[in-house]
Structures are given as structure tokens and as C-alpha cells.
């Protein structure tokens, strides 16, 4: 897969390793919103930006028809950090942009705002909204791997605490609002009621 317009030395990573307990075990990535899977919405953004896309999952057989690299967790504990670590470890580029598989409204413009931080010396480039830091819409340098491994070996899985000492660039909410006035890029489909809201947003034109 070659994207001639790629501007960033960065791999796109999608995490699809959750148990989806709130959906009775259904795979959230493959839930359809108006005839299109959540994963497809994310993939369409990624393919325009990255020449390498990695999916981190513990059920690889469900994604064999997709055009991306499939990897499974290196550490056995299920957590966001283990997925981020795995995607970053296997990334062919020195940076990885990471998103969860349940964010159907992630905007290309928001991803680009985060990617612009690569040109500095930050090892972690992360948006911040009123809800706090958004580590599932962030860029990680391979320099973060050692910190992550140390934390996980000590059974510490909070991303913000693990990376608090690494050079960090925070993307302000003000800058995010310029590209995504409703911040729908950060909407997660965690529960069935979230799924219903997501369908409504698509119908109303929140996502084409």
C-alpha cells in the first residue's frame, strides 16, 4: 500500500483488543453504522495519511480480509497500554499514531494536527480536551517503549503516569476546535446507547 502524499514518518495503529463486555462480546470494530463498519470509517482516514497501518487484536482471524498488518499483544495483560506498546513495537516508522477501534468520527484534520507535532522533539504528542488528555488519539515515539515496558513489568498501566517524564507536546482544545468544532473525533462507541447516538450523528451528516 503506497500513499504518495504521505508527509509523516509515522505508522497508523488501530487498537481492537478490547473484550466489548458492554456489547455482549460483539466486536465493536465491525459494528455497522449506516452500512459501514466503524473500522472502515477509521481505515478511510488512515489510508489517506499512512503508508503503514497496523491493527492490534487478539482475534486476528476476524480481520484477514483487511489490507493492513495484524499483530497481537506482546504483554498478556489487557489494557490500552499493552495495545499501544505492541503497535509501537511493530511499527516500521519511528512514530505511531494510535486510535481505538470504536471512534467512527475521527477526522483526518484532527489526526494531521497531532501529526504536526512530530517535527519537534516531543516523544508523546497528545490532545487535551475538557475531559483531560486523549491518549487514544495521540502520537508515540519508539523512545517511549522502554518506559512502557518498565511500567508494565511493574504492573502499572496508566499511560499518563507512565509517560509523565518524557518530552511531551500537548495539543490544546482551542486548536482542536478549529478543525473539529464539536470534537466528535473523540466520541467513543462504548455502550449500546453510544451506538444509537453514533447512528443519529451519521444520519444528521456528522460523518459521510
- DSSP secondary structure string for all residues of the chain: ---TT--SSEEEEEE-----GGGTT--GGG-EETTEEHHHHHHHHHHTT-S-EEEE-S-GGGGTTSSSEEE--SSSS-SHHHHHHHHHHH-SSSEEEEEETT-TT--HHHHHHHHGGGGSS-SEEEEEETTEE-TTEEEEEGGGHHHHHHHHHTT---HHHHTTTS-EEEEPHHHHHHH-TT-GGG----SHHHHHHHHHHHHTTS--
Give the residue numbers spanning the domain of 130: 10-203
Q: Does 70 map to a domain?
A: yes
Q: Does 199 map to a domain?
A: yes
Q: Are strands 69-71 and 124-129 parallel, antiparallel or unpaired?
A: unpaired
Count the domains in the chain. 1
Name the pTM for this structure. 0.90
Task: Give 114-150 pLDDT, tens digit per residue.
Answer: 999 998 899 999 999 999 999 999 999 999 999 999 9
Q: Does 176 map to a domain?
A: yes
- On the question of pLDDT at 208 being above 60, the answer is no
Residue 178 Cα to chain centre, angstroms: 20
Percent of the chain topping pLDDT 70: 84
Query: Which stretch of 6-20, 99-113, 115-129, 155-169 has the lowest confidence by average pLDDT?
Result: 6-20
Q: Does 23 map to a domain?
A: yes
Q: Does 4 map to a domain?
A: no
Q: Note the pLDDT of residue 86.
A: 97
Q: Does 3 map to a domain?
A: no
Q: Does 67 map to a domain?
A: yes
- On the question of pLDDT at 3 being above 70, the answer is no
Q: What is the CATH number of the domain that holds 163?
A: 3.90.550.10
Amino acid at each position: 500500500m503506497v500513499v504518495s502524499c504521505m508527509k509523516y514518518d509515522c505508522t497508523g495503529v488501530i487498537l481492537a483488543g478490547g473484550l466489548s463486555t458492554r456489547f455482549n462480546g460483539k466486536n465493536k470494530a465491525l459494528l455497522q453504522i449506516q452500512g459501514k463498519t466503524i473500522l472502515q470509517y477509521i481505515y478511510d482516514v488512515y489510508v489517506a495519511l499512512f503508508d503503514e497501518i497496523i491493527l492490534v487484536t487478539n482475534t486476528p482471524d476476524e480481520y484477514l480480509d483487511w489490507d493492513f498488518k495484524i499483530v497481537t499483544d506482546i504483554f498478556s495483560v489487557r489494557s490500552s497500554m499493552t495495545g499501544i506498546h505492541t503497535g509501537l513495537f511493530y511499527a516500521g516508522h519511528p512514530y505511531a499514531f494510535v486510535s481505538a477501534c470504536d471512534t467512527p468520527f475521527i477526522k483526518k484534520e484532527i489526526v494531521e494536527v497531532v501529526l504536526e507535532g512530530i517535527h519537534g522533539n516531543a516523544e508523546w504528542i497528545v490532545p487535551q480536551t475538557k475531559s483531560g488528555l486523549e491518549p487514544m488519539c495521540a502520537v508515540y515515539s519508539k523512545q517511549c517503549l522502554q518506559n512502557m515496558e518498565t511500567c508494565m513489568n511493574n504492573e502499572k498501566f496508566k499511560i499518563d503516569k507512565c509517560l509523565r517524564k518524557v518530552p511531551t507536546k500537548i495539543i490544546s482544545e482551542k486548536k482542536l476546535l478549529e478543525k473539529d468544532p464539536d470534537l466528535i473525533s473523540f466520541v467513543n462507541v462504548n455502550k449500546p446507547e453510544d451506538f444509537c447516538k453514533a447512528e443519529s450523528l451519521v444520519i444528521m451528516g456528522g460523518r459521510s
